[in-house]
Amino acid sequence: MSGSEINVEDARPLPLDAWHRAQGGRMVPFAGYSMPIQYEGIVAEHEWTRQHAGLFDVSHMGQLLLSGPGTAAALESLLPADIAALKPGRIRYSLLLADEGGILDDLMVTNIATPEGSEESFYMVVNGATKHDDIAHIRARLPEGISFTYLTEQALLALQGPEAAAVLDVIFPGIATEVSFMQQTSRTWNGATIALGRSGYTGEDGFEISLPAAIVAEFADALLADERVKPIGLGARDSLRLEAGLPLYGHDLNPTTDPVSADLTFALSKRRREAGGFPGADRIIALLTDGPPTKRVGLALDGRLPAREGALVFAGDVEVGVLTSGGFAPTCGHPIAMAYVDAAHAANGTELSIEVRGRRLAARVAPMPFVAHNYYRAGAVK
Amino acid sequence: MTRYFTEEHEWIEVEGDTATIGITDYAQGQLGDLVFAEVPKPGTSLAKGGDAAVVESVKAASDVYSPVTGTVTEGNPAIEEDPALINSDAEGEGWFFKLTIADPAELDGLMDEAAYKEYVAGLD
């Protein structure tokens, strides 16, 4: 091991380890844990999630709790989001930025203060593979008086797909219409508090569900008892998020990428762009003004041969970029990819080629998401 | 006809000096859903243990090796057209290619079905 200390807490199996094995999950090492890559098959699980409801165990991710006076301001010193304007019960996608503006992680932050606003309180979910570095980074920068907790006794599930809300509505009546995309609420189940955020990583409607590890197997069984629900592994999680145009940290994002090149400018709140004061603000604002030299784009490939991470991208004979993710897209029926390409070749429709095993595959820059998002927004015209 | 197996999970069915080659049902199960396959063209010279064909699952690319030295007589266009055929019938309709065997003595080191089953059982 190098870079981070071994955490004894995390050396334990994840809370649903035995549950996955009982469901026929094929376990692989991932983020320091043993996790299911698939159950019945990646394509079948992918299609099930697009049509019904897929149950994902994402308990490897880091769940963090920050509270106390000044927490919003402290978070704004780490993230480019307008945390001060984030209302109770609202979720934001944000980026943990290094001092030079490189992306240390991408994350979800939720204001979990009560509507009366008695105390500032925020819940964050960070990536499993980066959580220990994130925790060290955040702890080292938090001012005195802010309470920081790494929730090691909490599990995290995601229920995703067009039938996810209806399934949860059976267990928690009213929840299907109570919260919209990027809003959170909570319920009591068998005496335990369960937090439900309407978000996910598939492009579908759905919820991320934080609950005590002690009851997660029982709750997963309750969800699986509904015939609309099947367990989904990491393989389909990756193909679903790729179709949804959502970047994967450690592949499409890393400490050398910045939010502008990564095409995540939506995560740079208007007030923060104008006022600055977040890590790397000078460099990031200059990139916004001048345009980035390279940009993350989607690529749609002809044929059936997938191109993978690391494959080089060409415009004519000139190398103009590199793939950071790629694979066959079951919903699209052809291979797709994400790549960083020179800004001059980043416009939608640009014809490029990708080198795979000595041959050039025709590809063109395509708008993302590749598959339309299907989020629930109360009052929105469907 | 005799069928042999390799430790790399290819099967080879021999009839005279002609052989039909594919990947085993165990191999397709390990690879998962296949989305691309490419078979060698007739006339291609293959060396024992050398790259012969390529398959791609949703997650990764894998090489298929030739169990023996020989010259390709036919590739299976059906698996290039529909790679899922390998998943559904790996040891039948999902064959990869046929070749003319250069040296029948190379078959001696291969496993028969019983030995291969034992070998696979030891992997899980």
What's B111's DSSP letter?
Answer: B
Mean pLDDT, rounded, of chain A: 94
Do A327 and B59 make contact, defined as CB atoms within 8 angstroms? yes
Query: To which H or E segment does residue A169 belong?
Result: helix A164-171
Distance between CA atoms of A289 and A68, rounded to whole angstroms? 36
pLDDT of residue A363: 98
Per the annotation, binding residues of A for substrate are 208
The model's pLDDT over A248-305, given as tens digits with 9 standing for 90+, comes to 999 999 999 999 999 999 999 999 999 999 999 999 999 999 999 999 999 999 999 9
CB A130, CB A104: distance < 8 Å:
yes
Residue range(s) occupied by CATH 3.30.1360.120 in chain A:
8-58+153-244
3-state secondary structure at position A29: strand
The whole-angstrom separation of Cα B79 and Cα B87 is 10
For A240, which residue in chain B has the nearest alpha carbon? B58
Residues of chain B with Cβ-Cβ distance to A38 below 8 Å are: 32
pLDDT in tens, A138-194: 999 999 999 999 999 999 999 999 999 999 999 999 999 999 999 999 999 999 999
- Above 90 in pLDDT, residue A9? no
CA distance A241 to chain B (A): 14
Indicate whether A240 pLDDT > 90.
Answer: yes
- Residue that the structure tokens 């091991």 belong to: A1
- For residue A64, give Cα distances in angstroms to A61, A147, A240: 10, 10, 26
Distant-in-sequence, close-in-space partners of A8: CB < 8 Å, separation ≥ 6: none
Closest CA to B99 of B25, B19, B40: B19
pLDDT at A114 over 50: yes
Is the pLDDT assigned to residue A6 strictly greater than 50? no
Question: What ipTM was reported for this prediction?
Answer: 0.82
Name chain A contacts of B83, Cβ cutoff 8 Å: 304
* Residue A135 contacts B, CB cutoff 8 Å: no
Average pLDDT, chain B: 95
Residue with tokens 């790259």: B51
Q: Looking at the complex, does the CB of residue A54 fall below 8 Å from at least one CB of chain B?
A: no
Any idea which residue has 């190098």 for tokens? Answer: A2
Torsions phi, psi for A239 (to 5 deg):
-70, -30
Homologous superfamily, domain A293-366 = Aminomethyltransferase beta-barrel domains (2.40.30.110)
Q: What's the rounded mean pLDDT across residues B72-98? A: 97
The nearest CA of chain A is from the CA of B116 a distance in Å of 22
pLDDT exceeds 50 at position A58: yes
Nearest CB to A305; choose among B33, B36, B57: B36
CATH class of A8-58+153-244: alpha beta
Provide the pLDDT confidence category of residue A5 given band limits of 50, 70 and 90.
very low
Q: Among partner residues B33, B35, B60, which is closest to A304 by beta-carbon distance?
A: B35
- How far from each other are the two terminal CA atoms of chain B, in whole angstroms? 29
- Touching check for A332 and chain B: CB below 8 Å? no
Q: Do A304 and B32 touch (CB under 8 A)?
A: no
Torsion-angle region of residue A51: left (phi > 0), alpha (psi -120 to 50) or beta?
Answer: alpha
Closest CA–CA distance from residue B23 to any residue of chain A (Å):
18
Q: In chain B, helix, strand, coil percent, each to 5? A: 25, 40, 35
With CA atoms as reference, the chain B residue closest to A333 would be B35
**Residues of chain A found within 8 Å of residue B35, distances taken between Cβ atoms:** 304, 306, 328, 335
Ranges of CATH 2.40.30.110 domains, chain A: 293-366
- Chain A closest-CA separation from residue B108 CA (Å): 33
pLDDT of A2 above 70: no
Domain ranges of chain B: 2-104
**A86: pLDDT strictly greater than 80:** yes
**Which secondary structure element, helix H or strand E, spans residue B35, and what is its range?**
strand B34-38
Q: Does A325 touch chain B (CB under 8 A)?
A: no
- Which residue in chain A has the smallest CA separation from B37? A305
CB B120 within 8 A of CB B26: yes
CATH classification number, B2-104, choose in 2.40.50.140, 2.40.50.100, 3.40.50.1000, 3.40.50.300:
2.40.50.100
pLDDT at B27 exceeding the cut of 50: yes
Task: Using alpha carbons, select from B105, B40, B100, B106 the residue that is nearest to residue B71.
Answer: B100
Alpha-carbon distances of A20 from A24, A34, A55, A57, A240, rounded to whole Å: 6, 10, 11, 9, 20
Q: Rounded to whole angstroms, how far apart are CA atoms A164 and A203?
A: 13
